[in-house]
Amino acid sequence: VCRLWRECARRTLRTRQRIAWVSALEPGPAESHALVRALARELEKVYVLPQTVLYIADAETFSGHEDCHEQKKARKRNSKETALALEKLLPKRCQVLGLVTPGIVVTPMGSSSNQPQEIEEGEAGFALLFPKIDGVKIHTFHFSKDVKNRVFDESKFAEAGLKNNPDLRVVLLFGYNSWKTGATRFFHQIVNPLNEKSIILAGGQVESFTSLTSENNHAQPGDACGVVGLAFSGPQIQSATVLLDQDVADERTAEAAMQRLKAANIPEHNTIGFMFACVGRGYRHYKTKRNMEADAFRKFFPNVPLFGFFGHGEIGCDRIVTGNFVLRECNDIKDDLLHGYTTVMTLIHLGSTK
């Protein structure tokens, strides 16, 4: 591994403004370190040092198939060991955010020549590796519910760079342990103050988070509920998001939503697509037709890789932030950001590369 990173450092200059994509699809039986081995194999093909990593795996890949109550502690230990093994593959000062979700949306190898896939069943996972990008800052954050205080201290937003930050453009939010008492109220306390017209909010509720590191500081979820996420800041960032509600139930209406996203005119070079969908959608919602929404996205954005997950609740709306930071909304109704049985499609453009 040390030899690999030395080689990466030597070859960083030419590619440091590119986004490095790594995706891992593991068919076969669930194994505790399958994701680690897959990521290690793909890292051998990466020649740029990552500063921020987002990886997402479904619960079967990350923790195995065991569902017995007696094996609950063993599964938690297994997840922690896998997370630590993944982090050891990365530079020590790299920010890492790892999520476990019921299903995965991934473009294999992040290549526009590959079709994005909605993997609702079976083992799957991916990782996005972000290098240093001139004019762009990406950082992780974590807010955990304090059982002693019913009111969230909003000064923590400023500490996390989510307030008083004129360059903030996009915030990806992921709630965990949403079944806990008070979780919904806490989630509203986080989302509502951030519901500003000048930024994009998108994300959803996940099974759990397994990694959250920033300069070797580890935060473990325990049994509390909370919110983790990524914040994207930089004047060159552009973003847009659309909401596919329950009425979007066939190919025609799914493509109409993609047309709205296309009309935002977000540059497609150096752009990532994110899809956050309810576990109740997918092929069940579209009456056994699989990959409907990912296919609709690819039809209108053939050169933009798509990543995301199936979760337990969605965050987003119809919102567009243009390059000159003037917001154009698709409707005049006050944004409702928390949804169920929907899909949120989001574009994040990280600026042009030199």
DSSP state of 132: -
Going by C-alpha positions, the residue among 347, 352, 351 that lies closest to residue 172 is 347
CATH number 1.10.132 is the correct assignment for the domain at 3-64+76-131: no
**pTM (2 decimals)?**
0.83
The 10 Å Cβ neighbour count of residue 185 is 12
The alpha-helical segments, DSSP class H, found in 44-71 are 59-63
SS3 262: helix
Domain boundaries, the chain: 3-64+76-131, 138-202+210-232, 238-349
Asked if 47 and 7 count as a contact pair (C-beta separation under 8 A), the reply is yes
Asked if 276 and 203 count as a contact pair (C-beta separation under 8 A), the reply is yes
Asked if 204 and 175 count as a contact pair (C-beta separation under 8 A), the reply is yes
Give residue-wise pLDDT tens across range 253-274. 999 999 999 999 999 999 999 9
Q: What is the pLDDT along the chain (354 residues), one digit of tens a residue?
A: 444 444 444 444 333 334 444 554 444 444 456 777 777 777 777 667 889 999 998 887 776 544 444 444 445 556 677 778 888 888 888 999 999 999 999 999 888 789 999 999 888 889 999 999 989 999 999 998 877 777 788 889 998 999 999 999 999 999 998 888 888 888 888 998 888 878 899 999 999 888 876 443 444 445 678 999 999 999 999 999 999 999 998 999 999 999 999 999 999 999 999 999 999 998 888 887 899 999 999 999 999 999 999 999 999 888 876 555 444 444 445 567 888 899 999 999 998 865
Q: What is the separation of C-alpha 354 from the centre of its chain, rounded to a whole number of angstroms? A: 26
Give residue-wise pLDDT tens across range 227-244. 999 999 999 999 999 999
- Structure tokens belonging to residue 151: 């009111």
- Structure tokens belonging to residue 250: 């066939």
